[in-house]
Amino acid sequence: MTSDEIAACLINLGDKERADHSLRFFKTAEGEYGEGDRFLGIRVPVLREKVRQFREADLSAAEELLRSPWHEVRLFAVFLLVDKFRRKKPDLKAEIMKVFTANLDRINNWDLVDSSAPCLTGPWFWENDRSLLGTWVKSDSLWLRRIAVMSTFYFIKQNHYEETLAFCEELLDDREDLIHKATGWMLREIGNRDKKTETDFLEKFHTRMPRTMLRYGIEKFPAEERKSWLAGEIPPSAGTSA
């Protein structure tokens, strides 16, 4: 099936009321991070179901869909690339990554990032040279910085925290709340597996951390610990956390 046929199928699934809600939810007004994006109004589970229907579409079709002006068509393309990446042989994974990295300008909202980085760029860079992530985390692009951070979610699942912690430190002074949320989220995921590693980071940087980053990072801590960190104090138990 061609990209035009797939896009037409997706466009027919649109819902104007949901699309109007998405315009607000994904901050598409002038000056907001999703400025100018266009929505059809298709629920994510519907898009995932359509991936199963069209999963044999070739990579060129996926790339064409990734260039669509419609947000949900691009999200479908991301789901399709991830599905192919999970199922394909290692030599074809490089071709999938080539398509993805050639179209990074189309990964331009947090759901597109979070649907691809942990399960496509993350596993790719786990197995390959990671230096590009270090370039992305310093980028002027909000979305490249978030891709870099969210890619390390895969590393965290392998109980490897080095890049995540380095990126969290690198981005302490970032101006974007979406970066604060991502770094705080990744710190929380580290803490879920190794609380001492997270609290060691907090001890060094909690007074510099953006409030959102700190709140996300300590979300699963006991209430009294959260209270101490938010007050700029190190809880007595922090140094002995398992």
Residues 133-146, mean pLDDT to the nearest whole number: 98
Please name the amino acid found at residue 88: K
pLDDT of residue 3: 96
Predicted confidence (pLDDT) per residue in 22-76, tens digit: 999 999 999 999 999 999 999 999 999 999 999 999 999 999 999 999 999 999 9
CA 83 to chain centre: 16
Q: Say what the pLDDT of residue 223 is.
A: 96
- Identify the pLDDT of residue 199: 97
pLDDT of residue 239: 54
Which pLDDT score is estimated for 237?
75
β partners of residue 70: 38
Q: Is the pLDDT of residue 83 over 80?
A: yes
- What is the C-alpha separation between 41 and 30, in angstroms, rounded? 20
Average confidence (pLDDT) over 85-114: 94
Q: Where are the alpha helices (DSSP H) in 40-141?
A: 44-54, 59-66, 71-87, 90-102, 110-116, 122-127, 131-136
Q: How confident is the model over 158-169, as a mean pLDDT?
A: 98
Model confidence at 242: pLDDT above 50: no
Query: pTM for this one?
Result: 0.95
Q: What is the mean pLDDT of the chain?
A: 96
Residue 26 φ/ψ, nearest 5 degrees: -95, 20
Q: What is the pLDDT of residue 89?
A: 75
Coil, strand or helix at 38 = strand
Average pLDDT over residues 209-213: 97
**Identity of the amino acid at 26:** F
* Count of other CB atoms within 10 angstroms of residue 227: 13
Q: Tell me the pLDDT tens digit for each residue of 181-210.
A: 999 999 999 999 999 999 999 999 999 999
